[in-house]
């Protein structure tokens, strides 16, 4: 039986392009390159050339050796594990270990690059990415002067249980970069070899999982969902052995490295390991650092700052998961080590975009219990926030712990409020009317019954006129056409048309353009990724590039995407696809 509760939980989600709530502006005087010749909007004034940047006319740096990325601040701030060598072991009393990437075996190929990141965030001329130096830098084979790469020590609850020390098992933090907009980003290589935290892993990532991460993190950004970004994808000839479906079919694949970036890579598990091992001073230090760097609205002298921090993370986690739901995104492994303290999407593994609407959609084919199914994500968020509270408890007073529990109790209603707002926007509803939740829930229930395409149902509602809706004229609207077979869809349409036509100040074209901004026409469907991966594995990266370009404007109808069938009914083979779990 379909439960009203679940429907409400699910129904409360959509792609309104909400900005992340913490103001991500944490430029601290000295490590920030904002100069006086920077225009007030944060963009460099045109035609200014600052010699220290060795800039081209565009103001972009052309020489990789001028790219200043450093872990200095982190190393100065925290005790660092100095033990040399990347051998696996238990590490105590530190946040990071020094760890050197293992270069990928060549020949190396640049499979994908994000010009937007390279130029807009790194201030580098994209031509730099065509150099040998860049290939080596972005795959772990070249370190820039003064660079001390780090692996982060963290723990986590995996699949419901405390898993002890985890840590960056195949990722290296290259350093922080403060760009000319005054933003600070942390650059990380993924797939760059073993670290102290590799456990039984080989420290590598294969082409298919790297293509997926590159494309999906970029796609999520352009969908307006807070996420880590990807700068480049380098593939090699280095053999990597993987059992793709954990079924004994071992296959030789090739290694790849993604250069990815986030404002911060700290996770819930970053704090948990310190709390679990009684390293309270270090825990306090890390929380203070995260607050000072990333939550500028929280005063460092505020005696309640940890509570305000917790409340912010609770709110932002609710918002993030609501945004995932709004685009049908299932993360796939929502363990506490994969949950960012900044409430951004990180660690793309066996994720999936739901095609047929199904609250039980599970992207990880080995997740038989559906623990991380799409409809379970809100609950998993709650579980993870409970673990965050436990990790913060050593620095909270008894009274604050009680207050934090009350804050956590509010999570459900914050989530529902977000979902409600988002799905109202997806339906183009202005104002607030009593039956809005019913209207949303009713539609989702019918979509579930019919297995309607999640993305295209909402998109087509955004592209259809009131008159066509009224006339049930679904020419070219295959997803809506499918839904018309539901016995109640016609009733729903009457309600909907009545609801949207009641707002006299709203015109049909305003409604459509509003809805088209929150209902994407293209998402990274599994079959699309798969098709690009098959080609990438034979060194044809054209489809990776094509998808990257299309998904950079997911709300805009594009000819190439239409020709490739990205808004059409998924091809029959798509249904048989399984998401590969090992990565
Ligand atoms: C600028 O970069 C070029 C290489 O791209 C180098 O030859 C030159 O010396 C640099 N100039 C300064 C002032 O650093
Ligand atoms: C979190 O959201 C609740 C409900 O909207 C609000 O009362 C509270 O002030 C928010 N907390 C923070 C730190 O913004
Ligand atoms: C998928 O789910 C199974 C079962 O819970 C789990 O063992 C596996 O680690 C998951 N895959 C990934 C990549 O997390
Ligand atoms: C249905 O809508 C299409 C536009 O998508 C229009 O060209 C066509 O004339 C309409 N058909 C009827 C019967 O109104
Ligand atoms: C996709 C990904 O990076 N997942 C990480 C998060 O969680 C799992 C299990 O906790 C780790 O094994 C992965 O490294």
pLDDT at 89: 84
Task: Report which of 146, 145, 113, 150 is spatially closest to residue 131, judged by C-alpha positions.
Answer: 113
Find the angle CA(340)-CA(343)-CA(345) to the nearest 5 degrees. 70
The tokens of 418 are what? 């977000």
Rounded to 5 degrees, φ, ψ at 152 are -90, 135
Q: Which residue has the higher pLDDT, 200 or 408?
A: 408
**If you take atom 10 of ligand 4, which residue's CA is the nearest one?**
473
pLDDT at 168: 96
Instruction: Give the position, in ligand 2's atom list, of the atom nearest the Cα of 21.
Output: 14
Instruction: Give the position, in ligand 1's atom list, of the atom nearest the Cα of 51.
Output: 13
Q: In sequence order, which residues have a C-beta less than 8 Å from that of residue 524 and are 6 or more positions away?
A: 212, 215, 216, 219, 353, 547, 551
Cβ–ligand 4 distance for 468 under 6 Å, the answer yes
Interval 453-481 mean pLDDT = 96
Rounded to a whole number of angstroms, the CA Rg of the chain reads 24
pLDDT at 101: 97
CA of 114 to the centre of ligand 1 (A): 24
Find the angle CA(459)-CA(461)-CA(466) to the nearest 5 degrees. 145
**If you take atom 10 of ligand 5, which residue's CA is the nearest one?**
158
Distance spanning both ends of the chain, measured CA to CA: 36
Cβ–ligand 5 distance for 338 under 6 Å, the answer yes
**pLDDT exceeds cutoff 70 at 17:** no
**If you take atom 11 of ligand 3, which residue's CA is the nearest one?**
581
Residues 126 and 115 sit within 8 Å (Cβ to Cβ): yes
CA of 582 to the centre of ligand 3 (A): 9
Q: Which of 151, 166, 344 to mutate to test the pocket of ligand 5 (most atoms within 8 A of CB)?
A: 166
**pLDDT exceeds cutoff 70 at 285:** yes
pLDDT at 355: 95
Cβ–ligand 4 distance for 474 under 6 Å, the answer no
Q: Which of 302-316, 362-376, 551-565 has the lowest mean pLDDT?
A: 362-376
CA of 124 to the centre of ligand 1 (A): 14
CA of 54 to the centre of ligand 1 (A): 6
pLDDT range class, residue 141, cuts 50, 70, 90 = very high
Task: Report which of 313, 264, 94 is spatially closest to residue 196, judged by C-alpha positions.
Answer: 94
Cβ–ligand 3 distance for 349 under 6 Å, the answer yes
Q: CA 528: distance to chain centroid?
A: 18
Of 123, 125, 168, 337, the catalytic one is 337
Instruction: Give the position, in ligand 1's atom list, of the atom nearest the Cα of 63.
Output: 5
pLDDT at 223: 98
pLDDT at 366: 82
**pLDDT exceeds cutoff 90 at 43:** no
Could you give the 3-state DSSP secondary structure of residue 520? coil
Q: What is the per-residue pLDDT across 212-240, written as a single tens digit (0 to 9) for each?
A: 999 999 999 999 999 999 999 999 999 99
**pLDDT exceeds cutoff 60 at 42:** no
Instruction: Give the position, in ligand 4's atom list, of the atom nearest the Cα of 464.
Output: 5
CA of 392 to the centre of ligand 4 (A): 60
**If you take atom 12 of ligand 3, which residue's CA is the nearest one?**
581
Interval 346-364 mean pLDDT = 94
Q: Which of 468, 477, 484, 508 to mutate to test the pocket of ligand 4 (most atoms within 8 A of CB)?
A: 468
Interval 5-32 mean pLDDT = 31
Quickly tell me which residue has 């060795």 as its tokens. 54
Residues 457 and 492 sit within 8 Å (Cβ to Cβ): no
Cβ–ligand 2 distance for 315 under 6 Å, the answer yes
pLDDT at 57: 58
The tokens of 112 are what? 């994908």
69-88: b or e for each residue (b if 16 or more CB lie within 10 Å)? bbbebbbebbebbeeeebeb
CA of 507 to the centre of ligand 4 (A): 20
Residues 259 and 64 sit within 8 Å (Cβ to Cβ): no
Interval 257-283 mean pLDDT = 98
Q: Which residue has the higher pLDDT, 246 or 301?
A: 301
d(CA 294, CA 311): 14
**If you take atom 7 of ligand 4, which residue's CA is the nearest one?**
475
Q: Which of 242-256, 303-317, 538-552, 558-572 has the lowest mean pLDDT?
A: 242-256
Cβ–ligand 3 distance for 330 under 6 Å, the answer no
**pLDDT exceeds cutoff 80 at 489:** yes
**If you take atom 3 of ligand 1, which residue's CA is the nearest one?**
63
**If you take atom 14 of ligand 1, which residue's CA is the nearest one?**
54
Rounded to 5 degrees, φ, ψ at 205 are -130, 145
Q: Which residue has the higher pLDDT, 365 or 25?
A: 365
Q: What is the per-residue pLDDT across 384-422, written as a single tens digit (0 to 9) for each?
A: 999 999 999 999 999 999 999 999 999 999 999 999 999
Interval 63-87 mean pLDDT = 89
pLDDT at 572: 87
Find the angle CA(325)-CA(330)-CA(350) to the nearest 5 degrees. 165
User: Mean pLDDT across the chain, nearest whole number?
Assistant: 89
CA of 56 to the centre of ligand 1 (A): 10
Q: What is the per-residue pLDDT across 106-138, written as a single tens digit (0 to 9) for each?
A: 899 999 999 999 999 999 999 999 999 999 999
As a whole-number percent, the residues of the chain with pLDDT over 90 amount to: 81
As a whole-number percent, the residues of the chain with pLDDT over 70 amount to: 89
Could you give the 3-state DSSP secondary structure of residue 451? coil
CA of 142 to the centre of ligand 1 (A): 19
Instruction: Write down the domain spans for the chain.
Output: 50-67+93-264, 526-576
Examine the residue annotation and report whether 379 is marked as an active-site residue of this protein.
Answer: no
């Amino acid at each position: 039986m379909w439960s009203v509760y679940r429907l409400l939980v699910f129904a409360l989600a959509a792609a309104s392009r909400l900005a992340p709530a913490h103001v991500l502006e944490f430029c601290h005087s000295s490590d920030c390159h904002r100069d006086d010749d920077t225009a007030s909007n944060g963009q460099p004034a045109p035609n200014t050339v600052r010699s220290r940047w060795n800039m081209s006319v565009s103001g972009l740096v052309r020489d990789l050796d001028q790219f200043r990325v450093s872990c200095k601040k982190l190393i100065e701030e925290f005790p660092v594990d100095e033990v040399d060598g990347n051998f696996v072991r238990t590490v105590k009393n530190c946040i990071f270990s020094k760890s050197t990437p293992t270069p990928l075996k060549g020949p190396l190929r640049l499979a994908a690059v994000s010009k937007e990141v390279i130029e807009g965030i790194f201030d580098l001329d994209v031509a730099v990415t065509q150099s040998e130096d860049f290939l080596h830098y972005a795959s772990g084979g070249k370190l820039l002067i003064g660079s001390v790469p780090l692996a982060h020590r963290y723990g986590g609850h995996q699949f419901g249980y405390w898993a002890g020390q985890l840590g960056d098992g195949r990722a290296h933090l290259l350093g922080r970069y403060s760009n000319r907009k005054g933003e600070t980003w942390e650059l990380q290589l993924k797939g760059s070899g073993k670290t102290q935290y590799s456990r039984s892993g080989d420290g590598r990532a294969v082409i298919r999982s790297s293509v997926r991460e590159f494309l999906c993190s970029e796609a999520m950004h352009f969908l307006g969902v807070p996420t880590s970004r990807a700068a480049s994808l380098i593939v090699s000839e280095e053999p990597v052995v993987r059992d793709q479906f954990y079924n004994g079919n071992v296959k030789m694949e090739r290694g790849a490295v993604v250069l990815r970036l986030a404002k911060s890579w700290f996770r819930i598990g970053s704090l948990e390991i310190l709390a679990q091992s009684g390293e309270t001073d270090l825990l306090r230090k890390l929380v203070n650092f995260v607050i000072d760097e990333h939550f500028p609205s929280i005063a460092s002298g505020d005696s309640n700052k940890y509570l305000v921090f917790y409340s912010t993370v609770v709110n932002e986690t609710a918002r993030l998961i609501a945004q995932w739901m709004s685009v049908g995104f299932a993360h796939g492994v929502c363990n506490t080590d994969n949950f960012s303290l900044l409430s951004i999407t990180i660690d793309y593994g066996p994720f999936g975009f739901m095609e047929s609407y199904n609250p039980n959609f599970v992207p990880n084919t080995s997740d038989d219990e559906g623990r991380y199914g799409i409809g379970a994500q809100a609950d998993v968020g709650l579980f993870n926030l409970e673990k965050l509270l436990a990790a913060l408890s050593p620095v909270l007073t008894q009274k604050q712990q009680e207050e934090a529990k009350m804050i956590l109790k509010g999570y459900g209603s914050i989530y529902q409020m977000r979902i409600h707002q988002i799905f109202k926007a997806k339906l183009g509803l202005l104002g607030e009317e009593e039956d809005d939740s019913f209207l949303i829930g009713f539609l989702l229930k019918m979509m579930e019954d019919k297995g309607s395409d999640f993305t295209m149902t909402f998109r087509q509602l955004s592209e259809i006129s009131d008159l066509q809706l009224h006339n049930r004229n679904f020419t070219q609207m295959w997803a809506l056409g499918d839904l018309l077979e539901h016995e109640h869809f016609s009733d729903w349409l009457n309600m909907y048309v009545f609801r949207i036509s009641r707002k006299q100040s709203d015109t049909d074209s305003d409604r459509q353009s509003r809805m088209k901004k929150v209902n994407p026409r293209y998402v990274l469907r599994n079959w699309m990724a798969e098709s690009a991966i098959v080609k990438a594995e034979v060194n044809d990266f054209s489809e990776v590039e094509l998808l990257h370009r299309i998904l950079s404007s997911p709300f805009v109808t594009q000819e190439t995407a239409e020709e490739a069938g990205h808004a059409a009914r998924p091809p029959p083979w798509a249904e048989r696809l399984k998401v590969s779990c090992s990565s």
